[in-house]
A and B are shown apart, each in its own frame.
Chain A
C-alpha cells in the first residue's frame, strides 16, 4: 500500500500546494487522480516519489508511507529502489540519448538491484522490449526525434525498467491524438497484469476512470471527492466538469456546483 495521509505540501516555505490530502493506492490496484489545472495533482505525485526537493518544496504535515514505512526523507532514487516510480508530466525523455540509452539509464536504479549481474540487465531490457515492441525498432533513434506518442511510450518503458510495484503516471495522454492515447491507455491498463499498481493523473476523467477502480478528485489542493470509479462515472457533477458532458468548456468548481444544487433543492 502506497499511502498519503493528511499531507500538506508547501512550496518555497510559503505557497501551499496541498492541504491535508489523504490517498491510498493498494498493491496491484488502480486509482485515478482527477483535477483541473493547478489542483495539485503533480504536487501529490512529487510528494509520493520524493521529488519535492527539486522544487524547493516539502511535506510540512502528514505522512507518506509505503507498506507502512515512511517515505519522507527518502531520496528519490531510493524511493525508486523500493518500487515506486513516476512517469513525469510532459514525458521528459533524455533527448540527446538514444532510445536504448534512455532505457539503460534507468538500470542504475530500481527494485532488487543488489547483486544483479549484467545478464539480468539484458533480461530487463528484453522484458521492456517485450512489453513495448515498437521501442525495439526505435532503439538506435535519438529520443528527441521521436513523436509525442513514441516519447510517452519510451517514458513508460523507462519507468518499467525499474520493475516498479507502483507506477504513477502524470497526464500520460496529454497532447496525444485520441488514436494514439487510446491504445496507450489500454497498454497501461495491461500493466496491472504484471502486478503493477497504477495511479493515473488526468484532467479529463474519461480515460483515467476506464483504467481505475477508484477515483479521487482534487480541487485547490484538497480532495473533494473520493469514490469508486463507477460511482464517479454516474455522478452528474463529475460528468459535467471532468468528462466534458453538457459543458461549454467552462471552468468551475465541484464544491460550488454542490452548493448550488443543494440550494436549488432547498428552494424548490
Chain B
C-alpha cells in the first residue's frame, strides 16, 4: 500500500512537470500558431541559470536567484520571438518548426559548453529532505512539484478566463484578424505568450533538476516527452495539455516500476517510450486528441 502510494505520488509529480511543459507548448501554439520545439531547452535554461544566479554562481539568495532565472529565461524566449519568429510569420509552419528545432539544439550546445555535461546539483533549499506519510516516504521535491503546479495552473486558468489579456489571447487565438480589427495588440499578445510559456518552463526545469535528479543537458529529452502530452490533449487545448501530461507521467512511472518483471519482453527502457504508446492508443480512438478541435493548422 505504501509502495503504491509512493508510486502514485511520483507519477503525479512527473505528470505535473509534463503538464507544465505541455501547457507552455500549447500556450505558444494557441496564441501564435507556432509549434515551439525549443521548448524543452527553456527547461534547461531554468535548470542551469539557477546555477549562475544561485549559491553555485553569483550567490544571490534563493528567492532572488529564482526570479532572475525566470526573468532571463522569459527574456530569451521573447527575444527569440522578436528577432526570428516574428519575421517568419506567414511562412509555412514546417519552416518555423525547423527554426525552433535549430534554436533548441543551439541552446543545448551553448549550455553544454558553458556548464559542462557532468550532472550538477542545483541546490534547491529543500535539498534531499523527505516527509513520511504513514509508511510511505515522499520527497519534498515531489510534494513541492505538485503544489507549485497546482498554483501555476490555477493562476494561469484565472488569467486565461478573467484578465483582459487572457481574454484577448483567446480571442486572437480564434481569429487574429478580427482581434486586430477591434484593437487587440497581437504583437504584445505573442510576446506575452512566449514570456509566460518560458517562465513556466523555467520553473518546470528547476523542479525537474531538483533532488534526486540534477541539472544535465539530457533533461531536455525528458521534457521532449511532454510533447506527446500536448498532442494527447489535442494540441490546442489547455485542459488537454494538463490531463495529457498527467496521463503520461503516471503511465511512465507505472511502467518504470513494473517493467523489471517483464524485462525479457519489453526490455529495461520501455518507460521511455510509454508516452508514445499511450499517445498511439489515444489517437487511435480520438484522432484529434482528448480535447482538441479538428484542423488546427492555421493558414
Is B184 interfacial (CB 8 A cutoff)?
Answer: yes
- Decide: A109 near B184, CB < 8 A? Known: A94-B171, A104-B164, A104-B167: yes
Our pick among A86, A107, A162 for the contact of B164 (Cβ within 8 Å) is A107
Please indicate the chain B residues that have their CB under 8 angstroms from the CB of A97 in the complex: 167, 170-171, 174
Q: Which residue from chain B places its CB closest to the CB of A106 in the assembled complex?
A: B182
A56 and B90 form a contact (CB under 8 A): yes
The residue on A at minimum CB distance from B189 is: A108
Are A101 and B167 interface neighbours, CB within 8 A?
yes
Count of residues in B whose CB is under 8 Å from the partner chain: 21
| CB neighbors of B among A30-83 (8 A) | 49-51, 54, 56, 75-77, 80-81
Instruction: Determine the chain B residues whose CB is within 8 A of the CB of A224 once the complex forms.
Output: none
Is there a chain A Cβ closer than 8 Å to B156's Cβ? no
Q: Is A105 positioned at the interface, with any CB of B under 8 Å from its CB?
A: yes
A80 and B167 contact, Cβ closer than 8 Å, known pairs A54-B176, A94-B175: no
Q: Chain A residues near B168 (CB, 8 Å)?
A: 105, 108
Is the CB–CB distance between A88 and B177 below 8 Å? yes
Instruction: Judge whether B177 and A51 touch: CB under 8 Å.
Output: yes
Q: Shortest beta-carbon distance, A27 to chain B, in Å?
A: 20
Check: B180 CB closer than 8 A to any chain A CB. Answer: yes
A18 to B284 alpha-carbon distance, docked (Å): 49
Contacts of B123 in A (CB 8 A): none
Question: Least Cβ distance of A183 to chain B in Å?
Answer: 23
CB-CB under 8 A for A105 and B184, given A95-B174, A96-B174, A97-B171: yes
CA distance A102 to B174 in the complex (A): 11
Contact across chains for B182 and A80 when beta carbons are under 8 A apart: yes
| A102 near B171: Cβ-Cβ < 8 Å | yes
B175–A92 CB distance below 8 A = yes
User: Among the interface residues B175, B178, B184, B187, which one has the most CB atoms of the partner chain A within 10 A?
Assistant: B178
Task: State whether B185 touches A109 (Cβ < 8 A).
Answer: yes
Cβ contact within 8 Å between B171 and A86:
no
Total chain A interface residues with beta-carbon distance under 8 A: 34
CA distance in complex: A92, B177 (Å) = 9
> Does any Cβ of B come within 8 Å of A158's Cβ?
yes
Instruction: Find out whether the CB atom of A94 lies under 8 angstroms from the CB atom of B178.
Output: yes
Contact of B182 among A50, A54, A85, A96 (CB under 8 A): A85
The CB with the most chain A CB atoms within 10 A, among B176, B180, B185, is that of B180
Which residues of chain A are near B179, meaning CB under 8 Å?
94, 105
Question: Which of chain A's residues have a CB closer than 8 A to the CB of B174?
Answer: 94-97
> Is A54 within 8 A of B170, CB to CB?
no
CB distance from B163 to the nearest CB of A (A): 10
In the assembly, what is the distance between CA of A80 and CA of B175, in Å?
17
- The yes or no answer to B92 lying at the interface (CB within 8 A) is no
B90, B168, B176, most chain A CB atoms within 10 A: B168
Does B167 contact A162, Cβ atoms closer than 8 Å? no
Contact A85 B183 (CB under 8 A): yes
Is the CB of B186 closer than 8 A to any CB of chain A? Answer: yes
Q: Does B270 make an interface contact (CB < 8 A)? A: no
Q: What are the interface flags for B57-85 relative to A under an 8 Å C-beta threshold, 1 for contact and 0 otherwise?
A: 00000000000000000000000000000
Does any Cβ of B come within 8 Å of A110's Cβ? yes
Contact A106 B183 (CB under 8 A): yes
Give Cα A9 to B177, complex, Å. 18
Closest to A91 in B: B178
Determine which of B165, B176, B183 lies in contact with A110 in the assembled complex, contact meaning CB atoms within 8 Å: B183
Instruction: Give the shortest distance, in Å, between A19 (CB) and chain B (any CB).
Output: 24
Binding site for A on B (CB under 8 A): 90, 164-165, 167-168, 170-171, 174-187
Can you report 6 residue pairs joining A to B where beta carbons are below 8 Å apart? A76-B181, A77-B184, A77-B185, A105-B164, A106-B184, A162-B183
Given A96-B174, A159-B181, 14 new contacts (CB under 8 A): A54-B177, A56-B90, A75-B180, A77-B180, A85-B181, A94-B170, A94-B178, A101-B167, A101-B171, A105-B164, A105-B182, A106-B182, A106-B183, A158-B182
